[in-house]
Amino acid sequence: MLLMQFSAAGTDFPQIHTWTPEEISAHIGFMGEVNAKLVADGEWVDGQGLAGPAQAKIVRAGAGGAPVVTEGPFAETKEFLAGFWVVDVDTPERAVEIAAWISTAPGPGGAPLNMPIEVHPVMSAPPQDV
């Protein structure tokens, strides 16, 4: 699983709501190209862009298992999950290669954002004898 994290700390580009329509279109177009190539290469399983933290909720089980919901935005949030891909690749190195490519998504002025992309192996089922 490839996770696109966004962090307001340590970035040298403005927040996406300040980008021009052309810059946003180029960014989203790049993501479409990534997805199309992964499909063409037989590596695509799933992927989605996610809404920002203002639309997120944190849910915990309360008394008797009833949901207790905390609405966003979260003042303490410095990073948030912006999107994800699930890929089926032959080697961990290939997943890292794809993550590096995704990191080059264009931002303002077309410059690569170099956003961090986390690479997590998806765990398989536990052994049958457990």
Tokens 């962090």 label which residue? Answer: 7
pLDDT at site 55: 82
Range name among 42-46, 73-77, 113-117 with the lowest pLDDT average:
73-77
CA 129 vs. chain centroid, Å, equals: 35
Mean pLDDT calculated for residue range 15-22: 88
Joined together, the tokens standing for residue 60 give 């915990």
Residue with tokens 């709501």: 17
> Using an 8 Å Cβ cutoff, are 105 and 25 in contact?
no
Q: Quick: pLDDT tens for 29-42.
A: 999 999 999 999 99
Q: Give 71-91 pLDDT, tens digit per residue.
A: 765 556 667 788 999 999 999
Q: Residue 119: pLDDT above 90?
A: yes
Collapse the DSSP code of 3 into the 3-class scheme (helix H, G, I; strand E, B; otherwise coil) and give the result. Answer: strand
Q: How confident is the model at residue 125 (pLDDT cuts 50, 70, 90)?
A: confident
Tokens 């290669």 label which residue?
Answer: 97
Model pLDDT, residue 77: 60
Do the beta carbons of residue 116 and residue 101 sit within 8 Å?
A: no
Q: What is the mean pLDDT of the chain?
A: 88
Residue 71 bridge partners (DSSP): 57
